[in-house]
Amino acid sequence: MADTETVTAARGPAYPTTTAAVAHRPLGGRAVRLTGGLLADWQQRNHVVSLPLALRQLEVAGNLDNLRLAGTGVNSGYRGPAFMDSDVYKTLEAVSWQLGRADDPALAEFAADTTALLAKAQQDDGYLNSYAQVTGRPRYARLETSHELYCAGHLIQAAVAANRSFDGGALLAVARRFADHLVGTFLGRQAGLDGHPIVETALVELYRETGTAAYLELASQFVDQRGHGLVGDSGFGSRYLQDYRPVRESTVMAGHAVRALYLESGVVDVAVETGDSELLASSLARWQDMVAAKTTLTGGIGSRHSGEAFGDAYELPPDRAYNETCAAIGSFHWNWRLLLATGQARYADLMERILYNGFGAAVSADGHRFFYVNPLQRRDDHFEDDDPGRRREWFSCACCPPNIMRLIASLNRYVATISGDALYLHLLGQARVTAPVTDGVISVDVSTDYPWDGSIELTVVSAPASECGIAVRIPAWSAGVSVRLNGERLAAEQGEHGYLLLRRTWQPGDVLACSLDMPPRLTYPHRRIDALRGTAAVERGPLVYCFEQADQPAGLSVEDIALGKGDLAGHALTLAEVGRTVVVEAGAAILPAAQLPAAQLPADDRNQLPYRPEPTGTDQHSAAAGRSPVTAVAIPYFQWDNRDGQAMRVWMPCDRPEDRATSQDPAPSRAPFPAHDS
């Protein structure tokens, strides 16, 4: 059993100081151990498959060679884009979080060797950037595109992770030297801003780790300098760079999604460390804008390929959804900070949505391949330039794979928080959770098959002598939950911000069992999302489902399926290549033949365009008449593209709501307390 010291010694990402204005505090890094289930499997896969792949790719792509060239003062031979160092740093951060979970000599060797490489490449005044050093480009001369502070930020994040996970003092020293150089160069001046934020949150984290106030001051300065046109012209405009409006005045999410998201983590970090509620409020306003009108069902963001950018409000096409994996990660990091700042379940809800859907899909079932772009629909014969849109081992711009790895390696650190004398469970995986409360330590075992099953059983392993709280997030999607304490059903009671909170003097062996109804359900889009008009999606628990061609009856195209009123039934299965899953069988219909394909149109039919004066047969609204019933099969979205590479859809043409209203479906049962929207 862990004692208080162990629990607090290893800290996780975004670890506010004791004076920060936060509602919740994270636990120490070894306070949560994922003991089984999907998230534990992901961490294992990440450790065994993905991280070794990254270590190889950093050699193949030349990232480490670039640093070696910088270390030996060679002035040619640099390979790749300007931000190649950041892939090294993100991998190092992933390795650090992994070493925080368990020893691994090979990873520890990589961390030590790379740290030594960085220390050698670092210049005397603390500056470190292989691109500038090897190519001889002047420092900080083109910050709008050079990514120098971006790389510095990732170096700092890696060093903080190392220091919070194992003996990372050597890497922290490298990061501090660079940070001190940044303070000397930028603090109190208008000396430039990086086109790609991340140094802001990194500097706050370094302040948290070291207590050096100048780091926080520089982060704060960078946040407030943004939006005044100080970033140069990168060719994509000022929105792309979040430089078109001061942060405090901006109420919309615009421009390059990853940049916008990374900036928000810095904004919240600065706000909570300086107690700046105005700054926090501006971030919350942008969150609302993003969530209400610019987020896909999978939690993905950044709908535009061009500029990798946020689109207009309600511009959320399923097929063209860019949804960069790094944007999902950036949103996860931002939501974690908002959860700490406010304690509201909506941020944990969105973390969960991202985790199991938009983010989860970014890795192949075997851990070998990664998505950069995460659409909600793929047509047959899809091409993006010459790319068929499948996962890849690596990318010429390889920001996503090591970013995925650092999040998965740190997943356990996002499971729970402490607020006052209560332990809060946010992510509902199987875990051992140990947390300091007022009078000692509370430790619980969480036993669950989540997200495949909605039954979650907490067994108290140890508890303090006095009363303390245990809170479990009841997801917003839950239409019904029953709760038992040591077998006795608890009456409905008011949750706090979406949490079931029980406060008592816990005894070892106490069992708190929550059972979340998890029937497959249909979800409908907002009317203003033009691209989704007339469709519905299947969800089950926290999982968004998709219809892949591989699972449909022979001869049935996923493009011809309309969701009907039939029951949705889930079945646990293991599918080769996809692995364990729960498929949903959907009562559906085969839509009547659409307008004939051009090849079959009569040769004398002059109008070959896909537009007709009569809707007959060309419009899914008429699906009710003349269609054939069929059972279509859906699998979790995160498991897509592990098989044939063919068509996939999340949003399906659906029945008219009027038909639903008069159907024999029972009214949905309600939760015993209003855990979801009313």
Size of the site for a copy of itself (CB under 8 A): 102
Could you tell me the two tokens for 312?
A: 């207009």
Q: How far apart are CA 569 and CA 540, in angstroms?
A: 10
Could you tell me the two tokens for 665?
A: 């479906």
622 touches a copy of itself by CB under 8 A: yes
In the list 610, 626, 628, 670, the residue contacting a copy of itself (rule: CB under 8 A) is: 610
The span from the first CA to the last CA of the chain, in angstroms, equals 42
545 neighbors 528 (Cβ within 8 angstroms): no
Query: Closest distance between a copy of itself and the C-beta of residue 450, in Å?
Result: 19
Query: Closest distance between a copy of itself and the C-beta of residue 104, in Å?
Result: 39
Query: Closest distance between a copy of itself and the C-beta of residue 285, in Å?
Result: 9
361 touches a copy of itself by CB under 8 A: no
230 neighbors 192 (Cβ within 8 angstroms): yes
Among residues 221, 27, 214, 232, which one has the least CA distance to residue 148?
232
624 touches a copy of itself by CB under 8 A: yes
Residue with tokens 């054939």: 628
Which 220-239 residues touch a copy of itself, going by CB under 8 A? 236-239
494 touches a copy of itself by CB under 8 A: no
Residue 413 or 540 having the CB closest to a copy of itself: 540
Which listed residue (93, 148, 209, 308) is catalytic? Answer: 308
387 touches a copy of itself by CB under 8 A: yes
Q: How far apart are CA 338 and CA 426, in angstroms?
A: 13
Please confirm, yes or no, whether 200 is among the known catalytic residues. Answer: no
Q: Which stretch binds a copy of itself (CB under 8 A): 141-149, 164-172, 314-322, 512-520?
A: 314-322
Among residues 542, 539, 635, 632, which one has the least CA distance to residue 580?
635
The neighbouring-strand residues paired with 628 are 590
Residue 68 or 304 having the CB closest to a copy of itself: 304
Across 191-224, b (16+ Cβ under 10 Å) vs e yields: ebbbbbbbbbbbbbbbbbbbebebbbbbbbbbbb
Among residues 48, 6, 46, which one has the least CA distance to residue 28?
6
266 neighbors 223 (Cβ within 8 angstroms): yes
Which listed residue (205, 273, 352, 399) is catalytic? Answer: 399
Q: Which stretch binds a copy of itself (CB under 8 A): 50-58, 121-129, 183-191, 318-326?
A: 318-326
Across 436-475, b (16+ Cβ under 10 Å) vs e yields: bbeeebbbbebbbbbbbbbebbbbbbebbeeebbbbbbbb
Which 9-48 residues touch a copy of itself, going by CB under 8 A? none
Q: How far apart are CA 394 and CA 84, in angstroms?
A: 13
Residue 155 or 280 having the CB closest to a copy of itself: 280
Residue 13 or 653 having the CB closest to a copy of itself: 653
Query: Closest distance between a copy of itself and the C-beta of residue 147, in Å?
Result: 19
In the list 184, 307, 420, 440, the residue contacting a copy of itself (rule: CB under 8 A) is: 307
597 touches a copy of itself by CB under 8 A: yes
Tell how far CA 327 is from the center of its chain.
7
Which 647-676 residues touch a copy of itself, going by CB under 8 A? 651, 653, 656-658, 660, 668, 675-676
259 touches a copy of itself by CB under 8 A: no
Across 9-36, b (16+ Cβ under 10 Å) vs e yields: ebbbbbbbeeebebbbbbbbbbbbbbbe
Q: How far apart are CA 359 and CA 378, in angstroms?
A: 17
345 touches a copy of itself by CB under 8 A: yes
Q: Residues 429-468 vs a copy of itself: string with x where CB under 8 A?
A: ----------------------------------------
Which 102-131 residues touch a copy of itself, going by CB under 8 A? none
Q: Residues 278-297 vs a copy of itself: string with x where CB under 8 A?
A: ----------xx-xxx-x-x
Residue 366 or 605 having the CB closest to a copy of itself: 605
Number of residues in the chain? 678
In the list 12, 100, 317, 672, the residue contacting a copy of itself (rule: CB under 8 A) is: 317
Please confirm, yes or no, whether 308 is among the known catalytic residues. Answer: yes
Residue 420 or 534 having the CB closest to a copy of itself: 534
Residue 151 or 241 having the CB closest to a copy of itself: 241
Amino acid (1-letter code) at residue 644: D
Query: Closest distance between a copy of itself and the C-beta of residue 177, in Å?
Result: 37
Helix, strand, or coil here: 378? strand
In the list 109, 312, 366, 577, the residue contacting a copy of itself (rule: CB under 8 A) is: 312
Query: Closest distance between a copy of itself and the C-beta of residue 111, in Å?
Result: 35
In the list 5, 124, 249, 385, the residue contacting a copy of itself (rule: CB under 8 A) is: 385
Neighbours of 128 (CB within 10 A): 25
Q: Residues 526-545 vs a copy of itself: string with x where CB under 8 A?
A: xxxxxx-xxxxx--------
Query: Closest distance between a copy of itself and the C-beta of residue 57, in Å?
Result: 21
Which 562-591 residues touch a copy of itself, going by CB under 8 A? 591
Angle between helices 213-225 and 169-186 (to 10 degrees): 50
Q: Which stretch binds a copy of itself (CB under 8 A): 224-232, 339-347, 425-433, 547-555?
A: 339-347
In the list 5, 278, 488, 677, the residue contacting a copy of itself (rule: CB under 8 A) is: 677
Q: Could you tell me the strand order of the sheet in which 416-419 lies? A: 25-26, 416-419, 422-425, 468-473, 499-504
- Side-chain-side CA neighbours of residue 43 (13 Å): 23
Catalytic residues: 308, 399
